[in-house]
Amino acid sequence: MGSHPSETDVAHPGNRIGGAPPRTRAWLDGRVEAEGFPVAEVSDYLERPDVVVWLDLCAPRHEDLRVISEELGLDHVAVEDAVSRHERAKFDRYQGYAFLNAYIPEVKDGDLVLYEVSAFLSERALVTIRQDPGIDIDALIRRWDEGLGGDLAGTGAAYLLYGLLDMIVDLQLAAATALDDAGDEVEELVFDESFPVKEMQLRSYQLRKNLVALRRVALPMREVVNTLLRRDLRLVPPALVPYFQDVYDHTLRVAESTDGLRDLVANLIDTRLALQGNRMNEVMKKVTSWAAIIAVPTAVTGFYGQNVPYPGFSQHDGFVVSTIVIIVCSVGLYLVFKRRDWL
């Protein structure tokens, strides 16, 4: 994942905020009016009626947000949440704007990587704040370009928020699918004849850790979208309600997938422990059976090794008798154990 700023994004010396040049864009009636303008001009575009503005900042510091917070009248608590890492996924409403914090997951080399993204939403402005440049912001722009227009042109910044949420939830669903595939691989290991215990333990632990992380950031998205869909709050224009409802349905799918994965992981762990116990019992049964067989010659030779006279003492017949007893008893025990499937 990644994004590449255009030349217009870095053309202005003042356009240097955070770890990467800011991305700016303005729409008028669903058409791109301007792009790559300085952050200081955001308020100028917002003064024009029907213009929707988007600003993207990558890893900004607290002081970097001073300009945009003054232009949009952002609360210092919301700004603090935007620049702080590892905030929980949430949707908060303030006077005149709302704040969103969410996470975009990606499975890399078996590990789940979480990219934190925050957003400030007003009626005609959306400010996205990425804590990591790994988020593919160009993919978000393509979603907007492909869908914005027609009846959706007058929905303001709410459509931009829809595109952001849709991308986040789709990537969460893709991560859940990847973890589901990893669960199938662990399931194959559990029932493998070689029974690689160490690899199963490692993969099971990794899968459970990734699942816990995904559930922690995915489950709150249901409440986020559900809040946006509340009619009494009037946060979403009527034309966008079906779109946000579709995103809500996707959040339910993610929740169902993670719930199913949680049950699968628990069942896999229980099955692995049960199979491991059964295999251990099989091994102990075989070891015990062979120990019983070996105990026969040990007992016979121990008896004939006593330093007291007994029938056959110091005679060739005694050796023959003891050997026959060892062979008959050992073979007899072997046959008995084999018939009972102990060997």
Across the chain, mean pLDDT equals 84
For 274-304, how does the pLDDT look when each residue is reduced to its tens digit (9 = 90+)?
877 877 887 788 888 888 888 888 877 776 6
Confidence of residue 129 (pLDDT cuts 50, 70, 90): very high
Given this model, what pLDDT does residue 27 score? 93
Structure confidence at residue 334 (pLDDT): 82
Q: What value does the mean pLDDT take over residues 77-96?
A: 86
Q: Give the dihedral sign, CA 293/298/301/304.
A: negative
Mean pLDDT of 13-22: 69
Q: What is the pTM of this model?
A: 0.78
For range 169-198, the mean pLDDT: 87
Q: What is the pLDDT of residue 249?
A: 96
Portion of the chain with pLDDT greater than 90, in percent: 35
Q: What is the pLDDT of residue 165?
A: 96
To the nearest 10 degrees (0 to 180), the angle between helices 157-190 and 137-147 is 120
Q: Give the separation between CA 107 and CA 214, rounded to whole angstroms.
A: 10
What confidence category does residue 310 fall into, taking pLDDT thresholds of 50, 70 and 90? low
Concatenated DSSP letters of 56-119: EEES--TGGGHHHHHHHT--HHHHHHHHSSSPPSEEEEETTEEEEEEEEEEEETTEEEEEEEEE
Check residues 321 and 157 and name the one with the higher pLDDT: 157
Q: Please give the pLDDT value at position 193.
A: 74
Confidence of residue 149 (pLDDT cuts 50, 70, 90): low
* Mean pLDDT along residues 107-131: 91
What is the Rg, in whole angstroms, of the alpha carbon atoms belonging to the chain? 35
- What confidence score (pLDDT) does residue 304 get? 67
Residue 9: the pLDDT is 44
Least confident residue range of 11-15, 52-56, 196-200: 11-15
pLDDT, position 319: 76
Question: What is the average per-residue pLDDT within 9-18?
Answer: 55
| pLDDT at residue 6, as a whole number | 44
For residue 8, is pLDDT > 50?
no
pLDDT, residue 314, reads 67
User: Which residues lie across from 103 on neighbouring strands?
Assistant: 116
Average pLDDT for residues 27-42, to the nearest whole number? 88
Residue 25 has pLDDT above 90, yes or no: yes
Burial label for 312, CB within 10 Å (0-12, 13-18, 19+), is middle
Question: At residue 76, does pLDDT exceed 50?
Answer: yes
CA distances to 44, 58, 144, 248 from 167, rounded to whole Å, are 29, 18, 11, 12
pLDDT for 10: 42
